[in-house]
Structure 1
Amino acid sequence: MKSFSFLSPTLFLLFLFTFNLIVAVAAILGNQTDYFALLKFKESISTDPYKSLESWNSSIHFCKWRGITCSPMHQRVIGLNLEGYRLHGSLSPHVANLTFLKNLNLRNNSFFGEITQELGQLLQLQQLYLDYNSFVGKIPTNLTYCTNLKWLILDRNNLIGKIPIEIASLKMLQTLSVSSNKLTGEIPSFIGNFSSIKQLNFGHNNLEGDIPQAICLLKNLTFLAVGLNNLSGSPPFCLYNITSLTMLNMPLNNFHGPLPFNMFHTLPNLQYLEMGGNQFSGLIPTSLNSSSSIILFDISSNHFVGQVPSLGRLKDLHFLILELNNLGYNSTKDLHFLKSLTNCSKLEAFSISDNNFGGNLPNYIGNLSTELTNIHVGANQITGKIPRELGNLIGLILLAMGSNHFEGIIPTTFGKLQKMQVLSLSENKLSGDIPHFITNLSQLFDLNLQHNMFEGNIPRSIGNCQKLQILELSHNKIRGTIPLEVFTLFSLTNILDLSHNSLSGSLPREVGMLKNIDWLDVSENHLSGNIPETIGECTSLEYLLLEGNSFNGTIPSSLASHKGLRYLDLSSNQFYGPIPDAMQNISSLEYLNVSFNMLEGEVPTHGVFGNATQVAISGNNKLCGGIAQLHLPPCHIKGIKHPKHHKFRMIIVIVSVVSFLLILSFIITTYWMRKRNKKRSFDSPTIDQLTKVSYQTLHRGTDGFSTRNLIGSGSFGSVYRGNLVSEDNFVAVKVLNLQKQGAHKSFIVECNALKNIRHRNLVKILTCCSSTDYTGQEFKALVFDYMKNGSLEQWLHPEILNAEPPTTLDLGQRLNIIIDVASALHYLHHECEQLVIHCDLKPSNVLLDNDMVAHVSDFGISRLIFTIGGTSHTVTSTIGIKGTVGYAPPEYGMGSEVSTCGDMYSFGILILEMLTGRRPTDETLEDGQNLHNFLRISFPDNLIKILDPHIVSRDAGVSIQDGNSENLIPRIEQCLVSLFKIGLVCSMESPKERMNIVEVNRELIIIKKAFLAGVRALH
């Protein structure tokens, strides 16, 4: 016993010593492990702009390195926080050796590559922040071993795949956020296992399907975001019973159905509700007025109807967004709810635009919160005068009231809105002078008064608006000269649009002070004088529109200074002299129109002049040369002296005599032929002289009219691809089927229609053949420029035609094609020496060249209208053929004469087909229903449904959709709505109700401008 009692304390001390030694060794080894793991982590960083990791060296203990937190007892790394250091590199797998790590925060850097699976070894990890980086690949499944994880934040990366089922085992998870990635699949039902979860964010991915019913098990959920996905269905009603919810974010999906009438009774804590850009319908729940905690209420871009309920109890309401619905009945009671908003003292912005609200804007709108900064009431049916009480809202920054029926003058009280930056009153019936007090709004950067009835002069005090970037005064009755003060607005960088007014005087040399202007439009006024050379100092110009004035003089060579110029229209003026050679050096120029001036001399051949589809020069009879496709006469060579002048004079005399005899012979022959044929029929025209090509040449160039060269067939024949000069010089050869009735006359009329008309958007006839084939049979063919990209039809309906275009047409391309076709029709109807009615406008007769510029083709059944002695005569190819079923107007079927109104009907149907992808003879159209009536019923409520899905898939997230959702960006949607309206009005049953091509072109310019502005805003 004594021996035992002696050894017991000794053994105990030995045990304590050994234990402490083991702990010390373990701490040393652990410290070494963390140290080397951090050095390996640093090695994977390739860029460290802030030198954040400079302290990571052996001079100090790693626990003192920047971004490192260690435990006090063991000096082991428990926190690695490098947020916002802009580090660039990969995530080293050695980070998994930091086995005590609880918090890993690498957010807001530039890490790339996959998220390493080794993170699953961090068993102590509680917080993982990898958001705002460039990680790729799938969410690592090994995270399932991090059973202590509470915060998993992976937003704003490029992660793909489905949300892995393995993370269902993370029972302690409180926040799961994977927004703004490229995740697919459905929202997993296993989220019901996250009993501790408070925040779920799946927004901005490619998720689809319904919101799972299992979400209703999350009784602690406060934040749910599923917006900007492809989710559908009606959200489960139990979702509206999660009383803990403070934020419900579900915009830009395809959810539908009504909202529960009592939803705001069961969501008493809700502060933020975002449901815009879906298919929700029905009434706004009246229970909304009981939700005193609401801060933001956004139900925009849905199908809600009816009146807006009283909102007077929403004491904390800051933002009310109701735009783009079907609210209101166009009645005087529609805006009564605004009175209840006067109790919402924190209101900062509200939008009720693009609805059906009618009546007058009530005076008590001036009693709304002085905190208001934004008011949108545009695109409704509001009438009457603008309330002067609006001037009480002195905090207003933006006021948008366009596209209503306001009349009268702008209230003088607007002069008090000194914080105003955007003022849009366009497309109303406002009148009077542009008030001077508007120009005292020194913060203004966007002033839009276009499409009203303003008169008088542009006030010189406009120069006070030194922050103005956009000034749009077009389509009014403004007169006088352009004040020089406009050109002292150095802030004007986006748009200066003074078009379609009655402005006179010159364009002053001070225009050169607008060095940064992007869009300058003074077209369709009464301006005159020379274009000042100083225009070359506007170095940022992309669009310059001067057409429809009385400008004269020569085209200034300084225009060549605009290295970024894309669109230049100088047409319908009085310019004379040559086209400056320097203009061919503008490499960015996409379109040049100098038509209908008095220009002369040689046309350049390079730059924009090297592509006949990009330049319009008609109406200048003294131009010569240029590329062959312009079909201009050759230029005379000046300065050649003949050594024997008397011989030269003799030749002139001989030629004159011979010419006189030929003319006399022609007159006598014509007289006897007319006497012999007392009545000449205008319905049987003879072919005019046209340079011909032989049958042998065409046979050889098309490889014997081989089927592999067949590129299409039409009413009177087939079209082959061939080459007549070289292997690279392709042409299109239209061979007439002379067995078909009317083919002869079609050949004659098409030759006569095309031989003298030249326009960038009309197909060009190069030559013809009227001969016999190798069997002795009569043969007739026409030769045209070859269009590499085929017809519009094969782009709109590739699945039907078994065509394989390189891609589908996006909205911008479709808009350009519509503008091209409209330009061609304007030329045929108004600019030709004789009126041409096409009679068969349809997608198969619209061809696309290398640059996707459209050319109208196939004039085989066109009508040429001559005026002789005050009487109109029609030259036509066939009797009884008046177009194609579905595209021909209804009056042709009842025996009416062809007219420009008929072409406009076909053009309207063409637009509707381009926007919807539906043919006018589509099988889905019910009996007795045409494309016009079908779309009129569905428009504009179901715009996304009637759109061609190829447009949506092509433009997703860029110029059509917001994110990956099936909802349209409002600015782009407005362009689509305008295009649909043109198509519908042009295809009205009554010819008198249709738009003419002049009106259409005017609207298309506005739409194009709005579309480009929308695209610029998105980028």
Structure 2
Amino acid sequence: MNSSSSFSVFIFTAVIILRCLNPIKAATCHPDDEAGLLAFKSGITRDPSGILSSWKKGTACCSWNGITCLTGDRVTALTVSGQSEVAGSFLSGTISSSLAKLQHLDGIYLMNLKNITGPFPQFLFRLPQLKFVYIENNRLSGPLPVNIGSLSQIEAFSLEGNRFTGPIPTSISNLTKLSQLNLGGNLLTGTIPSGIANLKLISFLNLGGNRLSGTIPDIFKSMPELRSLVLSGNGFSGNLPPSIASLAPILRFLEVGRNKLSGKIPEYLSRFKALDTLDLSRNKFSGAVPKSFANLTKIFNLDLSHNLLTDPFPALYVKGIESLDLSYNQFHLKTIPKWVTSSPIIFSLKLAKCGIKMSLDDWKPAEYYFYDFIDLSENEISGSPARFLNQTEYLVEFRAAGNKLRFDMGKLTFAKTLKTLDLSRNLVFGKVPATVAGLQTLNVSQNHLCGKLPTTKFPASAFAGNDCLCGPPLSPCKV
């Protein structure tokens, strides 16, 4: 789970706890609040899972699902949330402007409703006590209002996962009470307004997953509380700005992957003693990784993949790394590093095309149990993954294409959780076991496999280039 989604979960949990602590169940409902809420319900065209089924005229609205009242009979928080993993727990329709009637509202949380459409909700400007806005993972669209800075009392503002377009308004610099700003996962264009430097209380800033461009402005010296900075998935170019160095004492998440950034990885990053997650992937960073990265003793998630980085890669002195991706650079690691192998908590290891020349028989991880994702493709790895695959409990993906693995596939067993298996372009022999039918993705092409194929849904390309495989989707077996 990334930093932005984990923060949303935290906020949503806090709201639910507040509702549970709510001591007030008003016998009646303030007529303005009831009218505003029922107007919102009337704007919903589909509610397949009955999220709003308790909203009935003439009943105590403070007891309705998603409603919090902390000041007499007045509604102070509105929480309507779908569950992204549960099909059908969403709403279709629009957000009624009549919610402006809820004059005591200090928090609005409309999250994961998927099919809510319409423009930016202008009624937010008419709610004088509003402090917390989370309208996430819907389908709102159009530009952000140029006067967005008029919401100067807002302390947390998230529009993540919608379809807003156009620039980030310069008036956003007036939201000086903000501690969280999340505009990630939209279609915003243009540059980051330099006025964001005015947000001196900001602790969480996410502009990732948009279409922003230009250089990252050098504005971070004025943000001493910033703990999470997410700018990944845009079109930013140039170097990382020097003022990011000022965030060293407390920054925990720095995510700038999937941009067009270049230059060397700054030495100052090694001073980020609190850093949990560093994502510099899919940029154009070059040169060697600073030796001083050995100082990043608290790093749990490190992604430097798809850059132009060169040897030597420094040994890290972490107590346990959770995920590591060094794939597709110009490294020649020769072996899977000991500091990786010794980690008791690693769940994702991706070292594709890292110049590894070793036998998997010599790889003895400290812990097999937690591995979920493995990618060792495009190396010169020999031996057999059978011992490893047979001991994992939760493995979802194993990729080792383009190596020198040699083993009998017919004797292979693997975790019931496994969804993806790529052993293409190796020296694998034997039969294809029937258990592969439970996979979602399979590629065992270009090996030395033989015999009749089990019944599967995979195309012929998954089995092409073997010695003597037969049966659908390949040619029939000779009787």
With the length of structure 2 as denominator, give the TM-score of the two structures.
0.79
Q: Which residue of 2 aligns with 1:355?
A: 329
Q: Distance in 1 between matches of 2:121 and 2:437?
A: 54
Q: Deviations over 1:641-671 (max 9, x none)?
A: xxxxxxxxxxxxxxxxxxxxxxxxxxxxxxx
Measured against aligned partners, the alpha-carbon deviations of 1:726-779 in whole angstroms (never above 9, x if no partner) come to: xxxxxxxxxxxxxxxxxxxxxxxxxxxxxxxxxxxxxxxxxxxxxxxxxxxxxx
Which of 431, 442, 446 aligns to 1:482? It is 431
Q: What is the distance in 1 between the residues matched to 2:333 and 2:30? A: 76
Equivalent of 1:391, from 344, 364, 372? 364
Distance 2:319 2:305 in 1: 21
Residue matched to 1:567: none
Per-residue deviation, 1:216: 0.9
User: 1:246 maps to what in 2?
Assistant: 227
For the residues of structure 1 that align with 2:174 and 2:159, how far apart are their CA atoms?
A: 18
Assess if the C-alpha contact under 8 Å between 1:493 and 1:518 holds in 2: no
Q: Per the alignment, do residues 199 and 459 of structure 1 end up closer, same or farther by CA in structure 2, a change over 3 Å counting? A: closer
Give me the whole-angstrom Cα distance separating, in 2, the residues matched to 1:140 and 1:37: 14
What pairs with 1:695-774 in structure 2 (closer than 5 Å)?
none
**Using the alignment, how far apart are the partners of 2:225 and 2:27 within structure 1?**
48
Task: Return the offset for 1:56.
Answer: 3.5
Give the letter aligned to residue 128 of structure 1: I
One-letter amino acid matched to 1:482: K
Q: Secondary structure at the match of 2:129?
A: coil
In structure 2, the CA distance between the partners of 1:393 and 1:308, relative to structure 1 (3 Å rule), is farther
Matched letter for residue 293 of structure 2: L
Among 193, 200, 208, the alignment partner of 1:227 is 208
| Partner-residue secondary structure (3-state), 2:219 | helix
Aligned partner of 1:78: which letter?
Answer: V
For residue 248 of structure 1, report the CA deviation from its aligned partner: 0.8
1:55 to partner: Cα distance: 7.5
- Aligned amino acid, residue 365 of structure 2: N
Deviations 1:589-617 (A, max 9, x none): xxxxxxxxxxxxxxxxxxxxxxxxxxxxx
The count of aligned residue pairs is 445
Q: 1:525 to 1:551 in 2, by over 3 A?
A: farther
User: CA–CA distance in 2 between the matches of 1:233 and 1:464?
Assistant: 47
Cα distance in 1 for residues equivalent to 2:426 and 2:82 = 54
Structure 1 residue corresponding to 2:378, chosen from 407, 415, 427: 427
Mapped partners of 1:390, 1:232: distance in 2: 43
> Which of the residues 421, 425, 441 maps onto 1:494?
441
Counterpart residue identity of residue 371, structure 1: I
Superposition deviation, residue 516 in structure 1: 5.3
Q: Does the CA contact (< 8 Å) of 2:369 and 2:391 recur in 1?
A: yes
Asked if 2 retains the 8 angstrom alpha-carbon contact of 1:345 and 1:369, the reply is yes
Residue 131, structure 1, aligned to residue 82, structure 2: no
Superposed displacement of residue 205, structure 1 = 1.7
CA contact (8 A) 2:231 2:256 kept: yes
How far the C-alpha of 1:77 sits from its partner, in A, is: 2.9
Deviation at 1:116, TM superposition (A): 3.1
1:264 is aligned to 245
Q: Residue type matched to 1:245 in 2?
A: L
Match of residue 316 from structure 1: 298
Shift in CA distance, 442/490, structure 1 to aligned 2, threshold 3 Å: farther
Unaligned segments of structure 1, at least 5 residues: 1-26, 87-107, 395-416, 536-543, 554-1019
Q: Match for 2:220: what amino acid?
A: L
CA distance in 1, matches of 2:326, 2:193: 32
1:137 deviates by 2.4
Residues in 2 aligned to 1:112 and 1:155: alpha-carbon distance in whole angstroms = 15
Counterparts of 1:436-447 in structure 2, within 5 Å, are 437-438=387-388, 440-441=390-391, 443=393, 446-447=397-398
Q: Quote the Cα distance in structure 1 between the aligned partners of 2:306 and 2:33.
A: 57
How far residue 146 of structure 1 moved from its aligned partner, in angstroms, is 2.3
**1:63-212, aligned counterparts within 5 Å?**
63-70=62-69, 76-79=73-76, 81-84=78-81, 109-113=90-94, 115-133=95-113, 134-212=115-193
SS in 2 for 1:280: strand
Change (3 A) 1:378 1:503: closer
3-state secondary structure, aligned to 1:130: strand
Structure 1 contact 325–355 (Cα < 8 Å) conserved: yes
Shift of the alpha carbon at 1:465? 6.0
Matched, 1:288 2:275: no
Partner of 2:468: 527
- The answer as to whether partners of 1:215 and 1:239 remain within 8 angstroms in 2 is no
Return closer, same or farther for 1:359/1:173 CA change in 2, 3 Å cut-off.
closer
2:424 equivalent to 1:451: no
What is the identity, as a one-letter code, of the residue corresponding to 1:249?
V
- CA deviation map 1:407-444 (0-9, x unaligned): xxxxxxxxxx3554555444334446x47535633545
Please list every run of 5 or more consecutive structure 2 residues that lacks an aligned counterpart in the other structure.
Answer: 1-25, 84-88
Deviation of the 1:64 alpha carbon: 4.6
The CA deviation at 1:273 is: 0.6
Q: Counterparts in 2 of 1:648-727, with a 5 A limit? A: none
| Cα 1:218/1:384, change in 2 over 3 Å | same
User: Separation in 2 of the partners of 1:62 and 1:30?
Assistant: 5
How many angstroms does 1:301 deviate by?
A: 0.9
Is contact 1:265–1:290 with CA below 8 Å preserved after alignment?
Answer: no
User: Taking every aligned residue pair, what percent have the same amino acid on both sides?
Assistant: 27
Deviation at 1:319, TM superposition (A): 0.7
**2:378 partner letter:** E
* Structure richer in helix, relative to its length: 1
Matched-pair contact (CA < 8 Å) for 2:265–2:285: yes
1:42-57 equivalence runs, <5 A:
47=47, 49-50=49-50, 53-54=53-54, 56=56
Tell me if the contact between 1:466 and 1:490 (Cα under 8 Å) persists in the aligned partners: no
Matched, 1:374 2:348: yes
Report the 3-state secondary structure (helix = DSSP H, G, I; strand = E; otherwise coil) of the residue aligned with 2:80: coil
Are positions 1:279 and 2:237 aligned together?
A: no
Q: Residue in 2 aligned with 1:845?
A: none
C-alpha distance in 1, partners of 2:426/2:27? 84
Q: In 1, are the aligned partners of 2:217 and 2:241 still within 8 Å (CA)?
A: no
Deviation per CA, 1:375-403: give whole Å up to 9, x if none: 222123x2543587741331xxxxxxxxx
Q: Distance in 1 between matches of 2:242 and 2:37?
A: 57
Cα distance between partner residues in 2 of 1:524 and 1:364: 36
Larger CA Rg, structure 1 vs 2: 1
Gap change, CA 1:295 and 1:141, over 3 Å in 2: same
- The structural deviation recorded for 1:220 is 1.0
Query: 1:383 and 1:345 mapped to 2: Cα distance?
Result: 23
